[in-house]
Amino acid sequence: MATLIFPEHPSPVADAEALRKACQGWGTDEKAIISILGRRNAIQRKLIRKAYEDMYQEDLVKRLESELSGDFEKAVYRWTLDPEDRDALLLNVAIKQLPIPDYRVIVEISCIRSHEELLAIKHAYQIRYKHSVEEDLAQHTTGDIRQLLVGLVSVYRYNGKEINARLASSEAEILHRAISEKVFNHEETIRIITTRSKAQVLATLNHFKDDYGTSITKHLRGDLDSDYLSALRTAIRCICDYHKYYEKVVRRALDKPGTDEDSLTRVIITSAEKDLKDIKELFQKRNSRPLEHAVAKDTSGDYKAFLLTLLGKED
């Protein structure tokens, strides 16, 4: 369930006027920006952006980018975008990251979003960057990880719940044979993970655990410095239980010496309108403290206030 709290019928014109006022004068009224944008859903934010541009002949997102700074600016900027445009931006930043692409973000978006959402993201990516996701990924990766990541973003998975138990058993055997021979990059492994429906992959992995006594990710260790194996494990975790995966991302982001703000922001802004409440519950169970308390302890200022608003904190 979502954590975002928003009114049913706010006036986009009134919101646009209030945001204009917050950005004028000697100082920016960050509290006003948080109280408006942090309490509006994607459709409402889209209407505000349109009203703002119609009234002031100015792009609201660009105005916010110029008025704000640091982690707060990055979070507000990304939150204000349409969800598919935001994910296109996140993909591009991840692909272009140096010295190597951030495969975690690429895998997250490819494996957690629905097939309709992924198509919309890829369309938004082409409009924004004048390239396809696949083209940019292929340019910035090589070898096994290129084959895996391009396969993940290219696929249009079947979205149904039906499974073929016999197929799951036979493909679990294929995966076990590849792992036993330490051929982790076997083309059949990549084929199974990138093309089968999520329900079918889950059935195969459950067969693997039942037949061979342990989860497949325990076997996918090999070279601990292998980006390919790390990406493969991430894909499996995202397909199997992405709430559990996201809880771990947030926990690690907060546990680091120096908070990993990029990861923390990414999970909160992409989940607040969907299922952040489920991630919060897992975090509470795993860490014996509310996620809000952990975020408040490890962040500060307007950035903290904005994240807490998205987490459902009442005014």
Q: List, for residues 80-97, the tens digit of each pLDDT value.
A: 999 999 999 999 999 999
Q: Residue 177: which pLDDT band, with cuts at 50, 70 and 90?
A: very high
73 labeled binding residue: no
Within the chain, where are the H helices?
12-22, 30-37, 42-56, 60-67, 70-80, 83-96, 103-112, 115-129, 133-140, 143-154, 165-180, 187-195, 198-212, 227-255, 261-271, 276-287, 291-298, 301-310
Tokens standing for residue 190: 């990549």
Q: How far is CA 96 from the centre of its chain?
A: 16
151 labeled binding residue: no
Residue range 232-253: mean pLDDT, rounded: 96
281 labeled binding residue: no
Estimate the crossing angle of helix 103-112 against helix 143-154, to 10 degrees: 30
Is-contact 303 71, C-beta < 8 A?
yes
The Cα 245–Cα 227 span in angstroms is: 18
Residue range 247-251: mean pLDDT, rounded: 98
Domains and CATH numbers, the chain: 12-68 (1.10.220.10), 83-154 (1.10.220.10), 165-240 (1.10.220.10), 242-310 (1.10.220.10)
Q: Regarding predicted confidence, which is higher, 217 or 263? A: 263
Q: What share of the chain has pLDDT > 90, as a percent?
A: 88
Whose CA is closest to 315, among 21, 36, 18, 1? 36
| Position 182 pLDDT exceeds 90 | no
Average per-residue pLDDT in the chain?
Answer: 95
67 labeled binding residue: yes
297 labeled binding residue: no
Q: Residue 218: which pLDDT band, with cuts at 50, 70 and 90?
A: confident
What confidence score (pLDDT) does residue 184 get? 82
Is-contact 238 270, C-beta < 8 A?
no
299 labeled binding residue: yes
